[in-house]
């Protein structure tokens, strides 16, 4: 059930597009492979239940009076979250159904195991010996421990990084990516299509910036009032991910806007204007003399990928 829950959890993140809140898109294929691997494990594990095969008989050579019936019925319960997911219902309902099935199923299994244990004890007392080769059931505490990652994934709200992360990570004015084919492609992008990351790449690796100054820019990002900037300026930031959220870093370009004090940190805006150069801490960075700063909703994909 834990493996099934992990498969459903990861599949939901893949389908909803929120998987990118955790890892870079270039590594998403490995998560898809993992989902298929978990699904195969679930099928293999449930196969005896659906076929009615008795996994553990009470004594070697003795058939169970009801071979696989209880476990077969229990396996049907596991289909409920999958059916709910296939119907395209909300994530909250899928998770709720899974938790209910988990509780009901675990209770049924405990009752079944207790009945089997009592029956085995009566049989052992009757025949006068104990079979020490019987495999032991996994303790309930161990199952709870194994389920902790899934429980945390369900309970912890899913949201992208925000400006609160800058207290420990800070805002970078450079793009730590190698010069090469990526940079060449960046130069070929139309000015209005360039992102914050694209402009920072240009200012990092181009020696002659004269051909870029005065060009129009149309970028989106979140507002951050960087103490390194003057009054009437703010930083337009984005988080970039190379592997996963653990190595995410914030990058930003300065925006010259008289009403910057009226903007709230972490709010998303669309900035249009012309590009110029600004020196911060001895480093030349892009600055946009904004002609318009319009509030927008946060994009479905808030991260950039170097």
Strands 249-256 and 268-280: unpaired
> What is residue 99's predicted lDDT score, i.e. its pLDDT?
63
> What is residue 192's predicted lDDT score, i.e. its pLDDT?
83
When pLDDT is cut at 50, 70 and 90, the band that residue 292 belongs to is very high
When pLDDT is cut at 50, 70 and 90, the band that residue 7 belongs to is confident
Q: Quick one: average pLDDT of 185-191?
A: 69
Q: Is there a contact between 192 and 186 (Cβ–Cβ < 8 Å)?
A: no
pLDDT tens digit string along 226-239? 888 999 999 999 99
When pLDDT is cut at 50, 70 and 90, the band that residue 305 belongs to is confident
Indicate the range of 212-221, 249-258, 276-285 predicted with least confidence: 276-285
> What is residue 155's predicted lDDT score, i.e. its pLDDT?
77
> What is residue 57's predicted lDDT score, i.e. its pLDDT?
44
Instruction: Output 59 or 162, whichever has higher pLDDT.
Output: 162
Task: Pull the structure tokens for residue 80.
Answer: 């409920």
**Residue 181 scores a pLDDT above 50:** no
**Residue 179 scores a pLDDT above 50:** no
> What is residue 96's predicted lDDT score, i.e. its pLDDT?
61
Strand partners, 217: 273
Strand partners, 279: 284
Percent of the chain at pLDDT > 70 equals 64
User: What CA–CA distance (Å, rounded) separates 92 from 50?
Assistant: 28
Instruction: Output 6 or 292, whichever has higher pLDDT.
Output: 292
When pLDDT is cut at 50, 70 and 90, the band that residue 145 belongs to is confident
DSSP the chain: -HHHHHHHHHHHHHHHTGGGGTB-GGGHHHHHHHHHHHHHHHHHHHHHHHHT--SS-SBTTB--SSTTHHHHHHHHHTHHHHHHHHTT--HHHHHHHHHHHHHHHHHHHHHHHHHHHHHHHHHHHHHT---TTSPPPPPHHHHHHHHHHHHHHHHSPP----GGGHHHH-EESS----SSHHHHHHHHS-GGG--HHHHHHHHHH-S--TTTTT-EEEEEEEEE--TTSPTTEEEEEEEE-SSBGGG-EEEEEEEE-TTGGGSPTT-EEEEEEEEEEEEETTEEEEEEEEEEEEE-PPPSS-EE--
pLDDT tens digit string along 38-76? 888 888 887 776 665 554 544 445 545 444 445 555 555
User: What CA–CA distance (Å, rounded) separates 227 from 165?
Assistant: 16
Q: Quick one: average pLDDT of 162-179?
A: 68
> What is residue 95's predicted lDDT score, i.e. its pLDDT?
60
> What is residue 180's predicted lDDT score, i.e. its pLDDT?
44
When pLDDT is cut at 50, 70 and 90, the band that residue 269 belongs to is very high
When pLDDT is cut at 50, 70 and 90, the band that residue 86 belongs to is low
Domain map (residue ranges) of the chain = 2-155, 163-304
Mean predicted lDDT score pLDDT of the chain? 75
**Residue 283 scores a pLDDT above 60:** yes
**Residue 212 scores a pLDDT above 70:** yes
User: What CA–CA distance (Å, rounded) separates 4 from 40?
Assistant: 10
Q: Quick one: average pLDDT of 289-302?
A: 92
Indicate the range of 60-64, 121-125, 192-196 predicted with least confidence: 60-64
Q: Which fold has domain 163-304?
A: OB fold (Dihydrolipoamide Acetyltransferase, E2P) (2.40.50)
271: nearest Cα among 285, 254, 283: 254
Give the highest mean pLDDT range of 39-48, 94-103, 164-173, 280-289.
280-289
User: What CA–CA distance (Å, rounded) separates 52 from 74?
Assistant: 11
> What's this model's pTM, rounded to 2 decimal places?
0.64
């Amino acid at each position: 059930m834990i493996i099934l829950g992990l498969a459903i959890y990861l599949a939901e993140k893949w389908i909803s597009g929120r998987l990118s809140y955790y890892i870079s898109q270039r590594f998403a294929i490995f998560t898809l492979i993992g989902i298929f691997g978990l699904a195969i494990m679930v099928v293999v594990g449930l196969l005896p239940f659906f076929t009615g095969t008795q996994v553990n008989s009470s004594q070697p050579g003795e058939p169970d009076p009801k071979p696989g019936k209880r476990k077969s019925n229990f396996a049907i319960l596991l289909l409920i979250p999958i059916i709910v997911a296939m119907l395209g219902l909300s994530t909250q309902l899928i998770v709720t159904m899974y938790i209910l099935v988990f509780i009901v199923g675990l209770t049924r299994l405990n009752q079944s195991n207790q009945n089997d244990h009592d029956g085995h004890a009566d049989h052992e007392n009757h025949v006068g010996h104990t079979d020490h080769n019987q495999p032991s059931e996994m303790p309930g505490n161990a199952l709870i421990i194994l389920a902790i990652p899934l429980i945390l994934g369900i309970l912890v709200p899913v949201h992208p990084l925000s400006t609160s992360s800058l207290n420990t990570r800070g805002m970078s004015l450079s793009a730590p990516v190698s010069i090469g084919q990526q940079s060449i492609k960046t130069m070929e992008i139309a000015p209005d299509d360039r992102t914050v990351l694209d402009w920072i790449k240009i200012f990092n690796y181009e020696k002659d910036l004269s051909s870029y100054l005065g060009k129009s820019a149309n970028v989106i990002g979140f507002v951050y009032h960087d103490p390194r900037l003057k009054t009437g300026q703010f930083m337009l930031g984005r988080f970039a991910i190379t592997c996963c959220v653990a190595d995410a870093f914030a990058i930003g370009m300065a925006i010259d806007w008289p009403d910057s004090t009226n903007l709230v940190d972490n709010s998303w805006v669309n900035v249009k204007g012309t590009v110029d150069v600004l020196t911060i801490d001895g480093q030349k960075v892009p600055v946009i003399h904004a002609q318009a700063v319009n509030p927008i909703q946060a994009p479905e994909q808030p991260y950039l990928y170097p």
